[in-house]
Amino acid sequence: ALSEPLDQALSLWKRLLENPGIPDVRSPEQTLSSLQLLAALYRLQAQPLQALESFLLLRSLCRRLGDAPGAAGALCQLVRLLLQLECPSQAQV
């Protein structure tokens, strides 16, 4: 029940980012921050799969925006989560 708003937000972000290219949002920087916050909240709620999805969306958007440091940061978070889930083969880049 507590994660229902997060799940709704994740669903909306996935729909917004399903098409290639830069999404039509007012502030791409704020969108990046929102995705980071979404992933962090999922981690705090011990929902690593949803956190992984959020970080994948974040990495995708960073790449579209040409934000190499942001994409690298999202990738680091993805690897960290995969290692915590004891999935080292999936964590290889």
pLDDT tens-digit map of 3-17: 899 999 999 999 999
The model carries a pTM of: 0.87
Does the pLDDT at position 90 exceed 80?
no
Residue 42 lies in a domain: yes
Enumerate residues 6+ apart whose C-beta is below 8 A from 54. 10, 13, 35, 38, 39, 42
Q: Is residue 32 part of a domain?
A: yes
Establish how many alpha carbons lie within 13 A of residue 91's alpha carbon, considering only the half-sphere containing its beta carbon.
13
Q: What are phi and psi of 21, to 5 degrees?
A: 95, 180
User: Quick one: DSSP state of residue 85?
Assistant: T
Residue 93 CA to residue 6 CA, distance in Å, equals 28
Does a structural domain hold residue 78? yes
Residue 40 included in any domain: yes
- For 71, the domain range is 4-15+27-91
Q: Is 93's pLDDT higher than 80?
A: no
In a domain, 83, yes or no: yes
Query: For the chain, what is the domain count?
Result: 1
Q: Which tens digits make up the pLDDT trace of 15-42?
A: 999 988 888 888 989 999 999 999 999 9
- Within a domain: 10: yes
